[in-house]
């Protein structure tokens, strides 16, 4: 006979959270800089020193804060739940020119 596994229970719980470190030992970067989540899942950025932002947009000169935008922070977390599939590049508005960029790939 088949028995229930923990997988069924996990599906009933809140969707998965993927963690990204901001700054800290990694310096002026997001670690990992590239993550993949499914629609409905959340990315949690954890700030570890230095003042940074998590701001949508690939172009340093034209960020897209209406998509998602953290406050300027050096500690704590910023969560964003992705509701649509696609690629979502982001940056630290203070350090984008230094290459502080990342991307979230969202799949169905």
How many angstroms separate the CA atoms of 6 and 1, rounded?
16
Paired tokens of 74: 């050096």
Q: What is the mean pLDDT of the chain?
A: 90
Residue 105 has pLDDT above 70, yes or no: yes
In tens, the pLDDT along 66-83 reads 999 999 999 999 999 999
pLDDT score recorded for residue 1: 53
Query: 71, exposed or middle or buried, with CB in 10 Å at 0-12, 13-18, 19+?
Result: exposed
In which order are the strands placed within the sheet that holds 86-91? 34-38, 101-107, 86-91, 55-56
């Amino acid at each position: 006979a088949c028995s229930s596994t923990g997988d069924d229970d996990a599906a009933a719980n809140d969707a998965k959270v993927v963690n990204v470190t901001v700054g800290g030992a990694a310096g002026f970067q997001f670690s990992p800089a590239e993550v993949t989540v499914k629609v409905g899942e959340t990315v949690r950025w954890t700030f570890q020193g230095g003042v940074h932002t998590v701001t949508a947009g690939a172009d340093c000169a034209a960020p897209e804060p209406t998509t998602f935008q953290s406050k300027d922070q050096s500690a704590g977390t910023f969560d964003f739940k992705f509701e649509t599939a696609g690629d979502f590049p982001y940056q630290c508005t203070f350090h984008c020119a230094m290459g502080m960029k990342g991307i979230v790939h969202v799949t169905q």
